[in-house]
Structure 1
Amino acid sequence: MILLGQLEIALKSKNVGTITSFRLNFGIIVITTNYIFYR
């Protein structure tokens, strides 16, 4: 049970990291396209 809990925590933190990096990448793409189109 303890191992399962640790695995669940690891998966959750990994998901959070993935979502954060995805948001960061998406933000960079949006900023870049805005810069190109509205220069």
Structure 2
Amino acid sequence: MESINFVNLKHFVSVENLDKAQVTALIKRAEYFKEGGPPQF
């Protein structure tokens, strides 16, 4: 059975309230973090 990792976030993020540029930036930030980059606050 596949396990799922859940990450606790300080704030809930809904892409419904973001424009295209903000969504793209969020995806790039997630990819950077996934590749081992430190979190950026």
TM superposition score normalised by structure 2: 0.44
* Higher CA-based Rg: 1
Q: Which has the higher helix share?
A: 1
TM superposition score normalised by structure 1: 0.46
